[in-house]
Amino acid sequence: MRPRESVELAPLTTLGVGGQARWFFDATDVGSVREALAWAKGRGVPCRILGGGSNVVVADGGFDGLVLRTAIRGRTFRDGGADSLLTVHAGEPWDEVARDSVERDLQGLECLSGIPGWAGATPIQNVGAYGQEVAECIESVAVLDRTTLEASTLSNGECRFAYRDSRFKSEDPERFVVLAVEFRLRRGAVPSVRYGELSRYLAESGVGRPSLLDVRRAVLVLRGRKSMLYDPNDENGRSCGSFFTNPVVSNDQARAIEELSADSAMPRYPQPDGRVKLAAGWLIERAGFNKGLTKGPVGLSTKHALALVCHDGARAADVLELAETIRGGVRERFGITLVNEPVVWT
């Protein structure tokens, strides 16, 4: 293995901030992932895993170790009885995966269209949007244990998925490298339309019985309206998308927050466990941070209060300072501490 030295990480992320990696290596197969991890372990060098760079804030000082990018490509469909099984390697661009499944009339990923990044990150974050999340159709995840360098396959249950969470993110954040994800997709099934905004858009567009392609197109339009499609030419383009997760609270907390806001139209989404999910963007705006707010070279998107945006001259420190200001404002106003969605490399 011959890693490159002193590689700029900012161009490899959608935020476009951060310093250099002391060493950097693109792994294009399982063997090179194992070799890179062994190289780092043998030299006592810390190692971090990078994918498409759409959900990470790299520190201005960079990373004094090896950054291993899992650039393994390839996806295959095979018969799964009444369903189709789709195996996607970690380095596959996610929206291409969603598009391919929709074009094959396979249901399960249509609402996840337009999300930037690579497929390997989807089980880590339990990526979700517009009422759908990958945990609903993940069959298994192929991983490499960073300690033993042994490959194994984890079932859906073993991944312990939760809202925007999994064992890869909160339980064992440094243990596994995701190599591939297997999805069970339904042939010819009706699309998932459970999200109010999506349902309204389809109805307003005169689409009474939407196809999977109708839903994909609608999601792309809605994401585009919010600058939630990665576009370097968009003034809001340099972001991680949603910077905070939507908080899930008890019914009593939800009622208390509604009273504090004096707004009976507060968005709320009942959860299967009896709790309530609130809209972080709504809380941010009600705490006084409006769309288009700027603080030096960073700010909030002009179209979505949940997206922190970088402009010319922005640094990671600027992003994190604004995030903390917003977090503090929401906490002071509503008693809720927002949680970062992207991973922060310090």
- Whole-angstrom CA distances from 10 to 49, 57, 58, 314 are 15, 9, 7, 11
| Gap between the terminal Cα atoms of the chain | 26
133 is a catalytic site residue? no
Q: Are 18 and 50 in contact (CB under 8 A)?
A: no
CB atoms within 10 A of CB 175: 14
Cβ within 8 Å of residue 296, ≥6 positions away = 313, 314, 318
96 is a catalytic site residue? no
Amino acid at 33: V
CB atoms within 10 A of CB 5: 10
341 is a catalytic site residue? yes
- Whole-angstrom CA distances from 327 to 29, 122, 333, 337 are 40, 25, 10, 6
> Which of 48, 146, 164, 217 is flagged as catalytic?
164
> Which of 166, 242, 315, 327 is flagged as catalytic?
242
Strand blocks (E) in 92-175: 106-107, 128-129, 132-133, 138-145, 151-155
**Residues taking part in catalysis:** 164, 242, 341
